């Protein structure tokens, strides 16, 4: 890149950062698109942009929302987000859609499922394709959170597709991990991974209104019993189980009050700051691993040799260990 082009690029990043900080929604969307780009020149610009915005981030409450498909994540987020904007908050929703196995594109259904937030000037919904990322979390969700915070959003809700290892991934990038469950825990409880309960900062039984109330109360009792067996991850917070209805807007005020209480208690104990620092380091390692994997896939010598090695391993003619050794040698490792 020439010096003139470099200066133009720096000026463009400076201008974009200023517009994001002013709260311009079009610039916010453009900044996120830049961050999500896989082009090498865009990656450098995205890094510079994030460095500009970093001093203006960190004040928002970051909440991960997970649960099996059909539990009502989008409906609950739509109602909760509307409650929060009505109370004066600015809410960003990062909704990660499953990617098409054919095109890699996003289904992008979340805006249609969040009808109120989609037209709320104090809300911003960003559906992004998971693109095969582990846990159904978009590859740039962490960076996108920071850009939204810099744009003035004080609540960031991350909704995942609710499959795979999404629970662990979301817990590693948010302050509060909310798990939505359905009434009728009896048989379902047996199939719940222990890891989900260990990570949860709160369990909310959704669709607990009307005829479902009795089943929801039974489910809550069973989840509480399961949580009592586990060692809490925090010294100042014991994960509660609450009953809600995202559709009927029941129990959401109490649920959010507990999220706020968690923030206050962990901030006072120092756990909040410690968790954020640990997440920053994990973010660094995650990006480093991605960069190394990208080099592995794009190195010309590796790309030329890889099909031969794959066939040899598949045919049983070459031990996987030796194939890995050869690939590593091609990368100078």
d(CA 238, CA 230): 10
* Domain boundary pick from 217, 233, 268: 268
Instruction: Output the domain CATH number for residue 211.
Output: 3.40.50.300
Asked whether residue 94 falls in the same domain as residue 141, the answer is: yes
pLDDT score at 238: 93
pLDDT score at 284: 87
pLDDT score at 242: 97
pLDDT score at 204: 95
pLDDT score at 136: 38
Asked whether residue 167 falls in the same domain as residue 256, the answer is: yes
Q: Which helix (H) or strand (E) element contains residue 127?
A: strand 123-129
Asked whether residue 61 falls in the same domain as residue 46, the answer is: no
Enter the tokens of residue 313: 């391993």
* Domain boundary pick from 219, 242, 268: 268
φ, ψ of residue 57 in degrees (nearest 5)? -115, 170
Residues 6+ apart with CB under 8 A from 86: none
Single out the residue of 245, 212, 233, 253 nearest to residue 83, CA to CA. 253
Instruction: Output the domain CATH number for residue 22.
Output: 1.20.5.170
Asked whether residue 125 falls in the same domain as residue 238, the answer is: yes
236 lies in some domain? yes
Q: What's the structural domain count of the chain?
A: 3
CB contact at 8 A, 60 and 158: no
127 lies in some domain? yes
CA 240 to chain centre: 22
Single out the residue of 252, 227, 228 nearest to residue 242, CA to CA. 252
Enter the tokens of residue 269: 């104990």
Asked whether residue 62 falls in the same domain as residue 123, the answer is: yes
d(CA 184, CA 153): 36
Distances (CA, A) of 11 to 16, 143, 157: 9, 21, 31
First vs last C-alpha separation in the chain: 29
Asked whether residue 166 falls in the same domain as residue 189, the answer is: yes
Asked whether residue 17 falls in the same domain as residue 46, the answer is: yes
pLDDT score at 108: 46
pLDDT score at 110: 52
205 lies in some domain? yes
278 lies in some domain? no
232 lies in some domain? yes
Average pLDDT of each block of 10 consecutive residues along the chain (333 residues)? Answer: 51 92 95 86 89 94 89 94 97 73 44 84 82 53 93 94 68 91 65 71 94 92 87 89 96 97 96 93 84 82 90 94 92 83
Asked whether residue 251 falls in the same domain as residue 291, the answer is: no
CB contact at 8 A, 60 and 156: yes
88 lies in some domain? yes
Asked whether residue 83 falls in the same domain as residue 52, the answer is: no
Distances (CA, A) of 163 to 88, 94, 279: 33, 16, 22
Asked whether residue 47 falls in the same domain as residue 74, the answer is: no
DSSP 8-state assignment for residue 234: -
pLDDT score at 286: 82
Strand-pair partners of 50:
none
312 lies in some domain? yes
Asked whether residue 124 falls in the same domain as residue 193, the answer is: yes
274 lies in some domain? no
The boundaries of the domain holding residue 207 are: 57-268
Asked whether residue 132 falls in the same domain as residue 64, the answer is: yes
């Amino acid at each position: 890149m020439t010096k003139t082009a470099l200066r133009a690029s720096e000026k463009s990043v400076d201008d974009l950062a200023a517009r994001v900080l002013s709260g311009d929604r079009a610039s916010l969307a453009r900044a996120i698109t830049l961050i999500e780009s896989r082009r090498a020149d865009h990656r450098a610009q995205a890094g510079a942009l994030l460095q500009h915005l970093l001093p203006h981030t960190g004040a928002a409450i970051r909440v991960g929302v997970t649960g099996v498909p059909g539990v009502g994540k989008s409906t609950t987020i739509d109602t909760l987000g509307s409650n929060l904007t009505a109370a004066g908050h600015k809410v960003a929703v990062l909704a990660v859609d499953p990617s098409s196995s054919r095109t890699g594109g996003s289904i992008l259904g979340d805006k249609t499922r969040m009808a109120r937030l989609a037209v709320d000037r104090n809300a911003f919904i960003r559906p992004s394709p998971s693109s095969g990322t582990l846990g159904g979390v978009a590859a740039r969700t962490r960076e996108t959170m920071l850009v939204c915070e810099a744009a003035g959003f004080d609540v960031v809700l991350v909704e995942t597709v609710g499959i795979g290892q999404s629970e662990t991934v979301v817990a590693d990038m948010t302050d509060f991990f909310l798990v939505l469950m359905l009434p009728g825990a009896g048989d379902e409880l047996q199939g719940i991974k222990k890891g989900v309960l260990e990570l949860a900062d709160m369990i909310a039984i959704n669709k607990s209104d009307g005829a479902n109330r009795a089943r929801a109360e039974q489910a809550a009792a069973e989840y509480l019993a399961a949580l009592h067996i586990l060692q809490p991850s925090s010294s100042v917070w014991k994960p509660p189980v609450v009953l809600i209805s995202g559709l009927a807007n029941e129990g959401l005020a109490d649920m959010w009050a507990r999220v706020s209480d968690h923030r206050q208690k962990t901030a006072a104990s120092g756990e909040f700051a410690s968790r954020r620092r640990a997440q920053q380091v994990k973010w660094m390692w995650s990006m480093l691993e991605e960069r190394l994997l990208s080099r592995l896939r794009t190195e010309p010598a590796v790309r030329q040799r890889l099909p031969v090695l794959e066939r040899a391993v598949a045919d049983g003619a070459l031990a996987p260990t030796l194939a890995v050794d050869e690939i590593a040698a091609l990368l100078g490792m």
